[in-house]
Amino acid sequence: MMIPFADMRDRVLEGVSVGPVNRVDLADADRRILSGDVVTRYDFPLFDNSAMDGFAVRSADFDGGPRRFRVVGVSSAGHPFDGELGPGEVARILTGAPTVVGCDSVIPVEASTFDPVNGTVEFTAIPSPGDHIRRRGEILESGSLVLASGTVINPGYLGVLAAHGIAAVDVVSPPTVAILSTGDELVSSKVEPGPGQIFESNIVVVETLLNRLGCATRVVHARDDRESIEATLSELSSSVDIIISTGGVSMGGDYDALRNAAVDFDVEVVQVAMKPAKPFAFGRVGDALFFGLPGNPGSVLVSFESFVRPAVRKWSGIAPSIPATVRGVTGTDLSHADDGKAHFIPMQRGADGSWVTAGAIRSHSIDSIADADALLRMEADQLFVSSGTEVELSPLWD
């Protein structure tokens, strides 16, 4: 009996827990998920500073209107002026430099005329207190939240963390994943195929998708016989967090060595009510989670997006576990057979912004999905979608 797609996905997510937490330097934190709130120990900015290149002035000196002032020093970034302004005195100040004791505003250099011979300056502007000064702590005060737990760290956030004096953060460790390659008919694209052999294409797709999710991966090859696969699974179970295989979970009987080996572990081999990617296996091999994906390339990608990606996101602390969909309008009629299955349609966004099929999905080929921008899931009871209908799509290749 086939298991409804949503029920199978729920079953997978129920079997996954958030991964362990470790502390990493910022250089290793990109795309990682924060575990716990990050709070700053410092005010930001750290001190009152100038927002402009110009002159630090006392606004009270302008009560009688503009006049000539004596320039008594310079405050630059990293080199603050250590004196104090008195009546009729100003200091040259550069953007980001600490303000000068006694000043309460800055006049931009564009509103000044400097006399280098006499060391004096005249202004065409009359300042108000606070002009062009960034106040200490005006963005964040010490003890404030910088980034919330669950934040996916990007290069911009790395800059925010560094600007607040934070050198390392606690993050959820992404899973380590072994990709198990079986199938005596498969050969590398680096060699010429022999009789009955085909090029292996699933491994590079799965490994790249996992790497984009931040996983540490390795590819392991096993002979296409039950004993070899059982031994390899047992060895991997204590050295990785997740094992993913492609192929061998269909209805090939004695010829599906992986299927026959997997049932000796806590793994369930099922048929999911979806097309493509009906054959699927999930469970545990020792301490490791196990995903048995179909062998056909188109089915592999649909199965990965449906089950593996949400599971890895949950393990990694990414919320929500199921990736967000995007809304779009169909530019063509869509239909599928009344076979009790959810159908996954590869879709492209057209020049007019509407969504059309990227071609008929062929489970034995990844070509049409490779051209797609998203997948549209048509439920088992949703046999027809007319052109111009608003639908939800799952983006590919993120």
> Between 210 and 248, whose confidence is greater?
210
What integer is the mean pLDDT of 102-122?
96
Residue 361, token pair as written in the block: 């999905």
Report d(CA 177, CA 373) in Å as an integer.
26
What integer is the mean pLDDT of 343-358?
94
The edge-to-edge listing of strands for the beta sheet with 33-34 is 21-25, 168-172, 33-34
Q: Tell me: the pLDDT tens digits for 298-328?
A: 899 999 999 999 999 999 999 899 999 999 9
Segments in 95-215 forming alpha helices (H): 155-163, 202-212
CB contact at 8 A, 345 and 308: no
Q: What is the pLDDT of residue 252?
A: 56
Q: Tell me: the pLDDT tens digits for 378-398?
A: 999 999 999 999 999 999 987
Lowest mean pLDDT among 12-16, 59-63, 187-191: 187-191
What integer is the mean pLDDT of 85-103?
97
Residue 202 pLDDT grade (very low, low, confident, very high; cuts 50, 70, 90)? confident
Q: Tell me: the pLDDT tens digits for 22-48?
A: 999 999 999 899 999 999 999 999 999
Q: What is the pLDDT of residue 362?
A: 66
Helix (H, G, I), strand (E, B) or coil at 9: helix
Report d(CA 151, CA 192) in Å as an integer.
47
Helix (H, G, I), strand (E, B) or coil at 193: coil
Residue 192 pLDDT grade (very low, low, confident, very high; cuts 50, 70, 90)? confident
Tell me the residue length of the chain.
398
The phi and psi torsions of 351 (rounded to 5 degrees) equal: -65, -30
- Name residue 93's beta-bridge partners: 54, 75
> Between 28 and 181, whose confidence is greater?
28
**CATH numbers and ranges of domains, the chain:** 3-20+174-315 (3.40.980.10), 23-44+139-172 (3.90.105.10), 49-134 (2.170.190.11), 326-395 (2.40.340.10)
Report d(CA 293, CA 166) in Å as an integer.
41
Task: Write the CB contacts of 69 (distance below 8 Å, at least 6 apart in sequence).
Answer: 55, 57, 61, 88, 89, 90, 120, 121, 122, 123
Q: What is the pLDDT of residue 300?
A: 93
Q: What is the pLDDT of residue 247?
A: 81
Residue 226 pLDDT grade (very low, low, confident, very high; cuts 50, 70, 90)? confident
Q: Tell me: the pLDDT tens digits for 365-375?
A: 677 788 899 99
Q: By C-alpha distance, which of 60, 29, 48, 312 is closest to 179?
A: 312
- Name residue 377's beta-bridge partners: 344
Q: What is the pLDDT of residue 259?
A: 79
Residue 255 clears pLDDT 70, i.e. is over it = no
> Between 215 and 188, whose confidence is greater?
215
Q: Tell me: the pLDDT tens digits for 261-300?
A: 887 899 999 999 999 999 999 999 999 999 999 988 889 9
Residue 70 pLDDT grade (very low, low, confident, very high; cuts 50, 70, 90)? very high
Q: Tell me: the pLDDT tens digits for 154-173?
A: 999 999 999 999 999 999 99
Q: What is the pLDDT of residue 19?
A: 94
Residue 194 pLDDT grade (very low, low, confident, very high; cuts 50, 70, 90)? confident
| Number of neighbouring beta carbons within 10 Å of residue 18 | 16
| Burial group, residue 12, by CB count within 10 angstroms (0-12, 13-18, 19+) | buried
What integer is the mean pLDDT of 114-133?
95
Q: What is the pLDDT of residue 182?
A: 79
Residue 66 clears pLDDT 80, i.e. is over it = no
Segments in the chain forming alpha helices (H): 5-14, 155-163, 202-212, 226-236, 257-262, 297-303, 309-315, 367-370
Q: What is the pLDDT of residue 396?
A: 94
Task: Kindly give the pairing relationship between strand 168-172 and strand 112-115.
Answer: unpaired
| Number of neighbouring beta carbons within 10 Å of residue 222 | 22
Residue 195 clears pLDDT 60, i.e. is over it = yes
